[in-house]
């Protein structure tokens, strides 16, 4: 019997950091040292702490080795010998205290989290159903089928207070109940795994790390609403998730959890995977449904029947997100009351965020609802690195709002975020620091969303482009002061007038940055300055004469010959010629640091 | 049909229960701006112009919202106007503006909307015009597709799918690049398109216009002369020529629908090859003749042969193209001349 | 047609066979597609993968000429599974047992061997059709233009009766008319044996073989659709498809002749006339000596056109009355210029029996005249003293002489949108659906028709391909009208014979090759279109182009009942030209 288990994350992120090669090397070393009988190497999903990937964990000790390389494999293998010692140099070092932390349970990134949906990610082998069964997998399904009526299941989901974790936050139990109530013997359960936000990866992580939890949730949902067929609409860009989910479905079928007669109960349910067409808007329920049917994914305008009434192929359809389904087993196993005891009054359970941007600990986190933004960013995330100052955080994906420091006390829940001008959305969380220009940030996100507009509604298609054009003009120094009000007018019209969530939220980054950082817009327009020194049209590169050593490097490298000077003659940038390409800054030796960016285009030449 | 009573602005109206608010309003002479709504098609809800407010419930799109007993609907108001105006201005500012050069001039829904909203030059000037210079598709001999004038109302797409079931076109691409396209973006003539022109008829702007069709001075109601369906048509006449045709929406047979032949193919009527004078073959060559010469000759020959071989020497082949009256007279003539040898091409 | 175009979109199930409506009757094609969108089950029975086959629930791609076996197999499955409308059968039909016995041997497996259609597909189709609330059957020349054309229709009618689909909405039989006024030409008595409204002109004194065949033929002639027994209750029309040969009562036809004689002021012959096939092909000794051809182009439309040419050349005198100098006019001694539809008033009768007004929109070109004016001038040269001053006057005479069909159809009423016959009185609303409460004969007749292998023009070593014909969306008939449209000509420039790529490869043909197509009667040239719309072994051409006059190849053998020619298939050989 193995006495030790080496857990090695094999998510897409881990693999891109070299986890595959490490695994091969480790196994080879273990075999070479004849440890195969006592040490088991287990592939798991990602543990979420992307910053320190690839991670190797040794259980039962709970040792965590961070940023492991292939070359470390022999040493790790040797440490597993009876006389072996932990490898201190691979311990995670707290970026704040710089203290080495041997055990994963002591790492703040983990111990401030509350992992429910992600609990198994990083612990079980997602391609082994027995691993899932060993941690209580499919117990909820057994319980539901043997002890509960569909109504009781729905009642439990309702009591739990679980809300849709795809971003909308619609109470899951009510949705299930609505779908159950619609008459019809042909209904569908659809799992939305079309994670279109390029900055979010929680759905992918769950499917890669714990696919059975989603499968189990879907089967229970099928039983509850009276459906016999489920579809998982997953991004084609997630091949590993598709593969693991496919294995999970096949295994579940083999073990009788799926099929015509689930667990001999007479209830029939099966799941099919559908790979999406890669459109952001297909995450919207009606667009997703159309896409599943083989049509162009375009959201259907309100008023229209709900998907629970007229969904896939016109049949009643329950559509929930990956994370919503993954929560179900916990509600059944631990009880609705247990679930409801977590989180806030109106938002129960946990929330998952992909924490990225100017943040020390970037990665995937699961936190109880109600935790504040500050706790996430500074406690779990470790704050802004490099001694920079926190400026804002954007939540909810490309169309989320941007919240300033003053709102860091905002608790994480559906309603508070919306009230503050942002949203839960896709669960993206991007931290920006003082070097980020808010106008440019708004422009960046809007550029993404306007390209993803399905084009059917005039306000979203044309309005967002119009706003983008105005933002472009502002960042290029061609803004007019009345543009700010025009942006607000357009943004509000697009928000109220667009068909779907994409259009309705696309103006959020613009409106929220105007709301909280209006002075930056005004600087761009009135002073022709980009205070964060980002917008090319509104900055200047200068050479600080005190620091310039007249080394000629920048002078030679400047592609437009804008730098004057000579040997032993301090260099000066001719601002009329300068194209602000930034070459001078990048070539100026770090020890000199003579090139600087300053806001604005009216440069006084010093000395 | 069940009726409901609702309030539209200050007017109390009775509407069919199945109607949408927009239909009820239009039926009662209340104009709500709309671009993507067409009475023949399922509502689309894309243009966002037909927004109204149901009191106590907020804004909704009237082309999709069903009427309900007792609701009070406002078709104008500050919030409605704000959103509608922005939507209209966005469409107008992005639209080709040389109206006089457009075949749809004076018959354009966008012009109607502009007139209703009332264009404020100053407001339009704040917006940026996004230049688009996409190539025209004139591959079909009967109509031109101009994507630059397209407002993406989707009426053509729905017409092709819902009316004719062809589905030759659909929305393609995303964002500002969104346009109506054939499969693989090929010229329309290489698509499944059957050239029926139903989309051309319904296009609210100049994005789909007929080629070589001129505005008629007057119209004459008739029946299509091609297949046996018997579609009702209106022939458009200018001077002494047929210059257009359109389906008769009141016809129970075709309800306004036509096929490519019925809509676009009347060249034969004015064709120079038409026979305009009787011809008599002399020495193997046709020579123009007067009616008297021709008919006298026919009479003489008929009589001669019938005298020689008996009345049955004469046989007539009647036409599936001419009128009943003419077919009737044809068989009446032959039978009056003593022969029953009359047939038509019913079996061919 | 027993029902209306308007009802199509609401049909429960639709069987389409021997017709390609999306090309030949496009607006009806749209409606069928609409019906499918609305949930109708669509069954396409056609050797070719016509467009509708792409949206069909089942496509029964049978070998040409095996129609009857297929239809009988559908009846077999319906009866075997008890899907027939028993109440309807008991109250409204007779001889069900005969049918039941006859179709017994047409098991799906047996018929699969004959037709090449999988047994499961036959079963599925039968169920779809029989289990729908309503079922309509669309057919046309593809069914009738066979030597067994009439039997084909009988077999289809059996299906319709079996499922209780005659006489109710969204159901019925839809024999689609290819030309704007075929229905009218027949209804107006432009047939050798009947006057207006199918009133028989002949007596049964003539008992020669010619007459007997004709009697059987015309009475069961499918494209004549309906016939009214004179003197019967005029509001009820019987459907001809399942009619027994008429047993005419001499007094009836004598009365009719007397009525017309009185009205017209002439004595009428009681000798039935020749059919079109007979005018040209048969009985050379009885061929007519003079042909008066109005608005037709038999040189291109008749089978084995060489015989038609010969016959026309052989005639003493040929008069052609048309709007263009068409291929047939080349054989004329006198050509009379006629006005087009846009240059005159009058009525057409569409495929759903609807009489509709056309109105003069422009003046006739040059010296041309409306056909009715020309005929009247001719009549008066024979001293007939006609004096019609308008089309309406002529129509009123038709109404008077054909009250059981058109009595109630004044121009004034027709102006409001047309009326469907029978419309017997000025307050009669017209008849959208035939056989609603009962059939003219009182009872619907099941008839037994057996499948016989196609003998007339089978394939063999010398003629290994089956050639069939069809129409194209962008042209009409012999292109006398559509050929004048530059637009249509640009869309389809020339004939392209459809041939399966597999066959083309076997023959070493490239896409741009021209082929010589030879039948037992002649040969023509055509370009080709490589397409899997036709299965291997089958090729398809249209008769639109004079340069590729496909009917030259066709067999003039006629349906022994309807005298419709076997224009739909013949054995051919294909070579690179």
* A536-599 and A4-106 share a CATH fold: no
Q: What pLDDT is stored for residue B53 in this prediction?
A: 96
CATH class of A536-599: alpha beta
In this structure, the strands spanning B218-223 and B314-317 are unpaired
Q: What is the length of chain B?
A: 348
The DSSP string of C544-574 is: --TTS-GGGSSEEEE-TTT--EE-SEEEEEE
For C475-519, write each residue's pLDDT tens digit.
Answer: 888 788 888 888 888 888 888 999 999 999 999 999 899 999 988
For B13-42, write each residue's pLDDT tens digit.
Answer: 999 999 999 999 999 999 999 999 999 999
Distance CA A414, CA A344 (A): 10
- Judging contacts by C-beta atoms under 8 Å, the chain A residues touching residue B64 are 301-304
The DSSP string of B109-176 is: HHHHHHHHH---HHHHHHSPP----PPPB--STTEEE-GGG-----HHHHIIIIIS----EEEES-GG
CA of residue A274 relative to chain centroid, distance:
22
| C-beta atoms of B265 and C36 within 8 A | no
**Phi, psi of A393, rounded to the nearest 5 degrees:** -130, 135
Q: What pLDDT is stored for residue C454 in this prediction?
A: 65
**Phi, psi of A267, rounded to the nearest 5 degrees:** -85, 130
What residue segments make up the domains of chain C, in order of their start?
A: 5-176, 177-273, 465-576
Distance CA A300, CA A309 (A): 14
Q: Write the residue in B142, B228, B347 that is nearest to C180 by C-beta.
A: B228
The DSSP string of A233-291 is: EE-TT-HHHHHHHHHHHHHHHHTTSSBSSGGGSS--BEEEEEE----GGGGSHHHHHHH
Which CATH architecture does the domain made up of C5-176 adopt?
3-Layer(aba) Sandwich (3.40)
Mutate to test the interface with B, among C18, C30, C567 (most CBs of B within 10 A): C30
Q: What pLDDT is stored for residue A197 in this prediction?
A: 86
Distance CA B154, CA B180 (A): 8
**Phi, psi of A365, rounded to the nearest 5 degrees:** -130, 150
CATH of A129-340, one of 3.20.20.70, 3.40.50.11540, 3.30.413.10, 3.30.70.1150: 3.40.50.11540
Query: Per the omega criterion (within 30 degrees of 0), is the bond before A157 cis?
Result: no
Q: Is A109 left (phi over 0), alpha (psi -120 to 50) or beta?
A: alpha
Q: Write the residue in C28, C349, C368 that is nearest to B324 by C-beta.
A: C349
Provide the 8-state DSSP code for B247.
E
Q: Does A606 touch chain B (CB under 8 A)?
A: no
pLDDT band at C440 (very low <50, low <70, confident <90, very high): low
Q: Does B336 touch chain A (CB under 8 A)?
A: no
| C-beta atoms of B94 and A462 within 8 A | yes
Question: Which segments of chain B are extended strands (E)?
Answer: 3-8, 11-16, 51-54, 58-61, 72-74, 143-145, 169-172, 179-182, 208-210, 218-223, 232-238, 241-247, 279-282, 285-288, 314-317, 342-343
Q: Write the residue in B165, B235, B279 that is nearest to C342 by C-beta.
A: B235
| Cα atoms in the Cβ-side hemisphere of radius 13 Å centred on A411 | 15
- Judging contacts by C-beta atoms under 8 Å, the chain C residues touching residue B340 are 192-193, 201-202, 269, 271-273
Alpha carbon of B231: minimum distance to chain A alpha carbons (Å): 33
Q: How many Å from the N-terminal Cα to the C-terminal Cα in chain C?
A: 43
Alpha carbon of B143: minimum distance to chain A alpha carbons (Å): 24
Could you tell me where the DSSP H helices lie in A92-138? Answer: 108-111, 129-134
Predicted complex ipTM exceeds 0.85: yes
Q: Does C259 touch chain B (CB under 8 A)?
A: no
Q: Which residue segments constitute the domains of chain B, with CATH numbers given?
A: 3-126 (3.10.20.740), 143-210 (3.30.70.20), 218-264 (2.20.25.90), 279-347 (no CATH)
CB neighbours (10 Å) of residue A335? 14
Q: What pLDDT is stored for residue C215 in this prediction?
A: 40
Number of H helices, E strands in chain C: 22, 23
Residues of A (563-582) whose Cβ lies below 8 Å from B = none
pLDDT band at C204 (very low <50, low <70, confident <90, very high): low
CA of residue A42 relative to chain centroid, distance:
25
CB A122 within 8 A of CB A54: no
Tokens of A605: 């030449």
Q: Decide: B and A in contact? Rule: 3+ Cβ pairs under 8 Å.
A: yes
Strand-by-strand arrangement of the A229-234 sheet: A270-275, A229-234, A188-193, A317-321
Q: What pLDDT is stored for residue C251 in this prediction?
A: 58
Three-state DSSP at A91 gives: strand
Question: Of B33-42, C520-529, C548-557, which gets the smallest average pLDDT?
Answer: C548-557
In this structure, the strands spanning B218-223 and B179-182 are unpaired
CATH numeric code, A4-106: 3.40.30.10
| C-beta atoms of B261 and C482 within 8 A | yes
Distance CA C327, CA C218 (A): 29
Three-state DSSP at A441 gives: helix
CB A269 within 8 A of CB A219: yes
Intervals of chain A under pLDDT 70? 1-2, 602-607
Tokens of A553: 């490097």
In this structure, the strands spanning A229-234 and A270-275 are parallel
For B197-227, write each residue's pLDDT tens digit.
Answer: 999 999 999 999 999 878 899 999 999 999 9
In this predicted structure, the answer to whether residue C41 has a pLDDT above a threshold of 70 is: yes
- Judging contacts by C-beta atoms under 8 Å, the chain A residues touching residue B178 are 453-456, 461
| C-beta atoms of B90 and A499 within 8 A | no
In this predicted structure, the answer to whether residue C242 has a pLDDT above a threshold of 80 is: no
CA of residue C43 relative to chain centroid, distance:
21
CA of residue C381 relative to chain centroid, distance:
35
Distance CA A62, CA A58 (A): 6
Tokens of C167: 């006489």
Closest listed residue to residue B207, CA positions, set B160, B145, B154: B145
- Judging contacts by C-beta atoms under 8 Å, the chain C residues touching residue B302 are 290, 292, 317, 382
Q: What is the chain B residue with the closest CA to C479?
A: B268
Give the mean pLDDT of chain B: 92
CATH topology for A438-527 is de novo design (two linked rop proteins) (1.20.1440)
Q: What pLDDT is stored for residue C234 in this prediction?
A: 27
**Phi, psi of C442, rounded to the nearest 5 degrees:** 95, -35
In this predicted structure, the answer to whether residue C207 has a pLDDT above a threshold of 60 is: no
- Judging contacts by C-beta atoms under 8 Å, the chain A residues touching residue B59 are 496
Provide the 8-state DSSP code for A409.
T
Q: What pLDDT is stored for residue A133 in this prediction?
A: 96
Distance CA C352, CA C176 (A): 8
Alpha carbon of C392: minimum distance to chain B alpha carbons (Å): 8
| C-beta atoms of A463 and B151 within 8 A | no
- Judging contacts by C-beta atoms under 8 Å, the chain A residues touching residue B19 are none
In this predicted structure, the answer to whether residue C235 has a pLDDT above a threshold of 60 is: no
Cβ-Cβ pairs closer than 8 A, A with B, add up to 118
| C-beta atoms of B222 and C30 within 8 A | no
For C45-84, write each residue's pLDDT tens digit.
Answer: 999 999 999 999 999 999 888 888 999 999 999 999 999 9
Look-up: residue for tokens 């036959």?
C122
Q: Does C425 touch chain B (CB under 8 A)?
A: no
Distance CA C454, CA C114 (A): 11
- Judging contacts by C-beta atoms under 8 Å, the chain B residues touching residue A470 are 128
Alpha carbon of A536: minimum distance to chain B alpha carbons (Å): 21
CB C127 within 8 A of CB C117: no
CB C318 within 8 A of CB C332: yes
For B177-192, write each residue's pLDDT tens digit.
Answer: 999 999 989 999 999 9
In this structure, the strands spanning C172-175 and C135-139 are parallel
- Please report how the helices A211-225 and A150-160 are oriented relative to each other, as an axis angle in degrees rounded to 10: 120
What residue segments make up the domains of chain A, in order of their start?
A: 4-106, 129-340, 350-433, 438-527, 536-599
CATH class of A350-433: alpha beta
In this predicted structure, the answer to whether residue C129 has a pLDDT above a threshold of 60 is: yes
Closest listed residue to residue A276, CA positions, set A290, A298, A292, A296: A292
**Phi, psi of C447, rounded to the nearest 5 degrees:** -120, 150
- Judging contacts by C-beta atoms under 8 Å, the chain B residues touching residue A466 are 90, 93, 127-128, 130
Q: Which residues contact C562 (CB under 8 A, 6 or more apart)?
A: B347, C144, C149, C150, C217, C218, C220, C221, C222, C223
Tokens of C211: 């007459």
Distance CA C116, CA C539 (A): 17
Q: Radius of gyration (Cα) for chain B, nearest Å?
A: 28
| Burial class of A134 by CB neighbour count within 10 A (0 to 12, 13 to 18, 19+) | exposed
CATH numeric code, C465-576: 2.40.40.20
Tokens of A359: 């943040």
**Phi, psi of A564, rounded to the nearest 5 degrees:** -100, 160
CA of residue C572 relative to chain centroid, distance:
24
Closest listed residue to residue C456, CA positions, set C564, C301, C306: C564
Quick one: CA dihedral B127, B130, B131, B133, positive or negative? Answer: negative
Q: Does A470 touch chain B (CB under 8 A)?
A: yes
Q: What pLDDT is stored for residue C206 in this prediction?
A: 43
Q: What pLDDT is stored for residue C489 in this prediction?
A: 87
| C-beta atoms of C361 and B222 within 8 A | yes
């Amino acid at each position: 019997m193995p006495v030790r288990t080496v857990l090695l994350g094999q998510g897409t992120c881990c693999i891109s950091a070299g986890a595959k090669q490490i695994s091969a090397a480790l196994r080879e070393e273990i075999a070479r040292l004849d440890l195969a009988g006592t040490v088991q190497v287990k592939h798991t999903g990602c543990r979420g702490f992307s910053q320190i990937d690839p991670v190797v964990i040794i259980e039962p000790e709970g040792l965590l080795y961070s940023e492991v390389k292939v070359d470390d494999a022999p040493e790790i293998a040797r440490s597993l010998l009876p006389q072996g010692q932990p490898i201190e140099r691979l311990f995670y070092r707290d970026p704040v205290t710089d203290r080495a932390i041997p055990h994963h349970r002591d790492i703040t990134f983990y111990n401030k989290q509350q992992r429910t949906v992600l609990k198994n990610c990083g612990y079980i082998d997602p391609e082994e159903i027995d691993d899932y069964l060993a941690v209580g997998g499919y117990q909820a399904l057994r319980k539901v089928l043997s002890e509960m009526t569909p109504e009781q299941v729905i009642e439990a989901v309702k009591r739990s207070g679980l809300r849709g974790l795809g971003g909308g936050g619609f109470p899951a139990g009510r949705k299930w109940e609505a779908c159950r109530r619609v008459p019809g013997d042909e209904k569908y359960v659809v799992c939305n795994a079309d994670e279109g936000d390029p900055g979010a990866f929680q759905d992918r992580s769950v499917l890669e790390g714990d696919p059975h939890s989603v499968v189990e949730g879907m089967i229970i949902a099928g039983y509850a609403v009276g459906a016999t067929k489920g579809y998982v609409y997953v991004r084609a860009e997630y091949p590993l998730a598709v593969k693991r989910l496919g294995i999970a479905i096949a295994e579940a079928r083999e073990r009788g959890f799926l099929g015509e007669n689930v667990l001999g109960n007479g209830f029939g349910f099966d799941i099919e995977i559908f790979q999406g067409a890669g459109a952001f808007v297909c995450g919207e329920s009606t667009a997703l449904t159309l896409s599943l049917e083989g049509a162009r994914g375009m959201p259907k305008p309100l008023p229209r029947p709900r998907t629970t009434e007229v969904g896939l192929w016109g049949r009643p359809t329950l559509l929930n997100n990956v994370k919503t389904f993954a929560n179900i087993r916990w509600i059944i196993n631990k009880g609705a009351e247990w679930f409801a005891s977590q989180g806030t009054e109106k938002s129960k359970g946990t929330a998952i965020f992909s924490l990225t941007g100017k943040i020390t600990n970037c990665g995937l986190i699961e936190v109880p609802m109600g935790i504040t933004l500050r706790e996430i960013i500074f406690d779990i995330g470790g704050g802004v690195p490099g001694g920079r100052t926190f400026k804002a955080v954007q939540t909810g994906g490309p169309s989320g709002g941007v919240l300033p420091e003053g709102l860091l006390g905002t608790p994480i829940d559906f309603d508070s975020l919306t009230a503050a001008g942002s949203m839960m959305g896709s669960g993206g969380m991007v931290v920006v620091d003082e070097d980020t220009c808010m106008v440019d940030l708004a422009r960046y996100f809007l550029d993404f969303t306007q390209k993803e507009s399905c084009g059917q509604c005039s306000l979203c298609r044309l309005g967002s482009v119009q706003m983008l054009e105005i933002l472009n003009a502002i960042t290029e120094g061609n803004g007019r002061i009345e543009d700010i009000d025009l942006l607000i007018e357009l943004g509000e019209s697009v928000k109220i007038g667009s068909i779907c969530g994409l259009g309705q939220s696309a103006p959020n980054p613009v409106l929220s940055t105007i709301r909280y950082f209006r002075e930056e817009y005004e600087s761009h327009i009135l002073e022709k300055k980009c205070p964060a020194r980002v917008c090319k049209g509104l900055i200047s590169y200068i050479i600080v004469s005190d620091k310039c050593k007249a080394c000629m490097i920048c002078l030679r490298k400047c592609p437009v010959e804008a730098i004057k000077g000579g040997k032993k003659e301090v260099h000066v940038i001719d601002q009329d010629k300068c194209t602000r390409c930034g070459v001078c800054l990048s070539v100026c030796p770090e020890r000199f640091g003579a090139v600087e960016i300053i806001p604005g285009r009216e440069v006084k030449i010093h000395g | 049909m069940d009726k409901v009573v609702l309030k539209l602005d200050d007017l109390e109206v009775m509407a069919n229960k199945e109607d949408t608010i927009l239909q009820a309003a239009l039926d009662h002479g209340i104009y709500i701006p709309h671009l993507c709504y067409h009475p023949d098609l399922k509502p689309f809800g894309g243009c966002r112009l037909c927004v109204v407010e149901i009191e106590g419930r907020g804004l909704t799109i009237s082309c999709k919202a069903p009427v309900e007993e007792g609701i009070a609907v406002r078709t104008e108001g500050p919030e409605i106007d704000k959103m509608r105006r922005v939507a209209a201005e966005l469409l107008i500012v992005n639209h080709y503006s040389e109206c006089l050069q457009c075949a749809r001039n004076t018959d354009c829904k966008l012009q109607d909307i502009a007139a209703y909203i009332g264009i404020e030059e100053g407001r339009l000037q704040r917006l940026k015009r996004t230049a688009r210079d996409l190539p025209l598709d004139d591959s079909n001999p009967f109509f031109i597709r101009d994507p630059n004038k397209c407002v993406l109302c989707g009426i053509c797409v729905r017409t092709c799918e819902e009316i004719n079931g062809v589905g030759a076109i659909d929305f393609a691409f995303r964002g500002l690049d969104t346009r109506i396209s054939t499969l693989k973006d090929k010229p329309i003539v290489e698509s499944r398109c059957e050239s029926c022109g139903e989309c051309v008829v319904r296009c609210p702007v100049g994005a789909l216009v007929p080629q070589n069709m001129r505005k008629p001075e007057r119209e004459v109601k008739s029946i299509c002369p091609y297949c046996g369906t018997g579609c009702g048509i209106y022939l458009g006449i200018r001077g002494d020529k047929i210059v257009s045709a359109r389906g008769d929406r009141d016809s129970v047979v075709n309800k306004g629908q036509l096929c490519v032949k019925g809509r676009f193919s009347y060249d034969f009527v004015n064709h120079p090859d038409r026979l305009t004078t009787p011809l008599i073959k002399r020495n193997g060559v046709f020579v123009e003749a007067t009616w008297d010469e021709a008919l006298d000759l026919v009479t003489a020959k008929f009589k001669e042969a019938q005298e020689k071989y008996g009345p049955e020497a004469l046989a007539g082949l009647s036409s599936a193209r001419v009128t009943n009256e003419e077919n009737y007279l044809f068989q009446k003539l032959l039978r009056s001349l003593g022969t029953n040898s009359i047939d038509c091409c019913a079996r061919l | 047609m027993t029902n209306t175009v308007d009802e199509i979109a609401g049909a429960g199930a639709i069987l389409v066979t021997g017709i390609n409506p999306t090309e030949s009757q496009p607006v009806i094609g749209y409606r069928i597609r609409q019906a499918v969108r609305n949930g109708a089950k669509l069954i396409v029975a056609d050797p070719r993968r016509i467009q509708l086959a792409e949206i069909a629930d089942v496509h029964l791609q049978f070998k040409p000429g095996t129609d009857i076996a297929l239809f009988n197999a559908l009846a077999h499955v319906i009866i075997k599974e008890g899907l027939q409308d028993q109440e309807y059968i008991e109250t409204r039909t007779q001889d069900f047992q005969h049918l039941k016995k006859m179709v017994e041997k047409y098991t799906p497996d047996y018929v699969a061997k004959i037709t090449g259609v999988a047994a499961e597909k036959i079963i599925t189709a039968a169920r779809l059709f029989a289990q729908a609330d309503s079922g309509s059957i669309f057919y046309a020349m593809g069914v009738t233009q066979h030597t067994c054309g009439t039997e084909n229709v009988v077999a289809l009618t059996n299906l319709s009766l079996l499922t209780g689909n005659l006489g109710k909405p969204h159901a019925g039989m839809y024999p689609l008319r290819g030309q704007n006024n075929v229905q009218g030409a027949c209804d107006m008595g432009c047939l050798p044996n009947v006057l207006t409204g199918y009133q028989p002109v002949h007596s049964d004194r003539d008992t020669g073989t010619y007459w007997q065949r004709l009697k059987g033929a015309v009475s069961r002639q499918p494209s004549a659709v309906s016939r009214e027994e004179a003197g019967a209750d005029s509001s009820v029309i019987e459907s001809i498809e399942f009619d027994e040969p008429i047993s005419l009562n001499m007094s009836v036809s004598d009365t009719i002749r007397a009525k017309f004689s009185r009205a017209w002021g002439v004595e009428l012959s009681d000798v039935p006339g020749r059919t079109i096939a007979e005018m040209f092909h048969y009985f050379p000794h009885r061929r007519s000596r003079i042909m008066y051809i109005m608005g037709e182009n038999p040189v291109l439309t008749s089978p084995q056109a060489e015989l038609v040419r010969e016959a026309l050349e052989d005639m003493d005198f040929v008069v052609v009355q048309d709007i263009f100098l068409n291929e047939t006019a080349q054989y004329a001694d006198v050509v009379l210029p006629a006005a087009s539809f846009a240059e005159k008033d009058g009525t057409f009768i569409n495929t759903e029996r609807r009489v509709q007004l056309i109105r003069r929109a422009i003046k006739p070109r040059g010296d041309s005249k409306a056909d009715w004016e020309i005929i009247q001038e001719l009549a008066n040269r024979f001293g007939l003293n006609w004096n019609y001053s308008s089309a309406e006057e002529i129509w009123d005479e038709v109404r008077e002489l054909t009250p059981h069909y058109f009595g109630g159809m004044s121009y004034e009423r027709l102006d409001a949108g047309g009326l469907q016959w029978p419309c017997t009185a000025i307050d009669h609303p017209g008849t959208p659906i035939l056989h609603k409460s009962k059939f003219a004969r009182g009872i619907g007749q099941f008839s037994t028709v057996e499948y016989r292998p196609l003998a007339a023009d089978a394939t063999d070593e010398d003629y290994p391909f089956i050639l069939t014909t069809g129409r194209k969306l962008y042209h009409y008939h012999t292109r006398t009208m559509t050929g004048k449209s530059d637009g249509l000509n640009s869309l389809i420039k020339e004939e392209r014979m459809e041939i399966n790529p597999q066959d083309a490869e076997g023959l070493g043909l490239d896409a741009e090759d021209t082929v010589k197509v030879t039948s037992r009667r002649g040969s023509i040239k055509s370009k080709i279109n490589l397409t899997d719309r036709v299965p291997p072994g089958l090729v398809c051409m249209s008769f639109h182009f004079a340069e590729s006059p496909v009917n030259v190849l066709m067999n003039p053998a006629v349906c022994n009942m309807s005298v419709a020619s076997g224009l739909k298939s013949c054995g051919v050989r294909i070579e690179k030209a």
